[in-house]
Amino acid sequence: MKSQLHNGTLTISLEGRIDSHRAPSVEIDINNIIKNTDFEHLVLDAEDMTYISSAGLRIVLKLLKSHNDLQLNDVSSEVYEILEMTGFTEIMQVNKALKRIDVTGKKIIGKGANGVIYRIDNDTIVKVYNEADTLDHIKAEHDMSRTAFILGIPTAIPFGIVKVGERYGSIFELINAKTFAELLQEDPSQTEFVARQTVELAKTLHETDAPLGIPRHSDVARQWLAEAKGSFDAEHFAKLTALIEAIPETDTMLHGDLHIKNIMQYEDGALLIDMDTLSAGHPIYELACIYNAYEGFGICDPNVFKNFLSVDESVVKPLLHRILELYLDTDDENRINEVKEKASVIGLLRVLRRIIRIGEQDTPEGKRLIEECRDRIVLAVDHLDTLTF
């Protein structure tokens, strides 16, 4: 019998038919594994189990009495019907087997830190998560999407979780929808439409009060600050800390990763996708994320716009300027540059922290990038008295 221990969870795999003939030996095997393993949580993997009799159910019941958080995962429809009929679905967590899909040869329409988005067909896309152990994270993201939808924020609603190889994915139904990146690839003159739709989405978000339980973006910013501390002298670190701490704690809803691969043209409007970064806080944090997507990350790699957003720098830089112009409702270049500089302080702090986190701070290129990010931040904090607008 196969078993695996990961992060304190012991998973035991059940196979074939567990009937009155096999149940005694199965129970012995399970008990031997449990006796010889130090674990906190117990999971039974039923992906390869085709049938369970009353004798097998008694084994599960005994395990449930000694391990009250026992889960039974990847249960086939036939076995689930037995468990439902006998009441087991009422007394323990039973998770049905997920549909499996293959993304081989499918077009990638988005890519981020947490996963890759594929187009399956004209009607369907799937976000495949990078890490195999992400089911709880996916369910949390689904909850975020539903929360945003209920609050009136245009967002694609996931309607299922699937398995893609050994990883998990979220399925979205978007009939003939295109990402804004695809739109600009086909027709760069659509910059004005993309900018206006982006700002409309941002305004809709920022006019919405975040409900309880939404993460605070300020907590993330403080984490970036703490990890980047060693890159600054004491005086400038104190100034930077004071500026960030002075940003008001508002209940404004933020997307947290608002760029052209996370917005889709749908009918005559736009929809947000990739809602795992949904948070609450001052809008300067949103503008910092937009700044990074269209300028900040280019400091590390001039090709990032083509590789990540699938469009040239010549497209995204004017897009950033137009978004700021529309969002601030001004054509005053001094005002636009002032807010952009404030956003860059937070955005470049994230870039700097990223260089450190991936372990490149001791390489010649990493040192150069850290110095450039630090120098730009220092130049800004030397004359800014606030990061808000």
CATH of 178-381, one of 3.40.30.10, 3.30.379.10, 2.102.10.10, 3.90.1200.10: 3.90.1200.10
Q: Determine the topology of domain 107-173 in CATH.
A: Phosphorylase Kinase; domain 1 (3.30.200)
pLDDT at residue 268, as a whole number: 73
How many CB atoms neighbour CB 320 within 10 A?
20
Residues of the chain with CATH 3.90.1200.10: 178-381
pLDDT tens for residues 316-347? 999 999 999 999 999 999 999 999 999 999 99
* Tokens encoding 85: 């009929």
Q: Rounded mean pLDDT of 122-148?
A: 85
The SS3 assignment for 378 reads helix
Residues of the chain with CATH 3.30.200.20: 107-173
The percent of residues in the chain predicted with pLDDT above 70, rounded, is 99
From CA 78, how far away is CA 97, in angstroms rounded? 11
Q: Rounded mean pLDDT of 112-127?
A: 85
Q: Rounded mean pLDDT of 370-382?
A: 96
Single-letter residue type at 299: I
CA 58 to chain centre: 40
The residues, any chain, with a CB within 8 Å of residue 313's CB and separated by 6 or more, are: 298, 302, 305, 306
DSSP summary character for residue 248:
-
Residue 175 confidence (pLDDT) above 70: no
pTM for the full model?
0.78
Any idea which residue has 């949580």 for tokens?
Answer: 41
Long-range contacts of 114-118 (CB under 8 A, 24+ apart): 114/274, 114/276, 115/169, 117/261, 117/273, 117/274
pLDDT tens for residues 19-50? 999 999 999 999 999 999 999 999 999 999 99
Measuring CA to CA, how many Å separate 137 from each of 131, 150, 216?
10, 20, 17
User: CA 220, 108, 199: angle at the middle one, nearest 5?
Assistant: 50
pLDDT at residue 272, as a whole number: 92
Domain 3-97 belongs in CATH node 3.30.750.24: yes
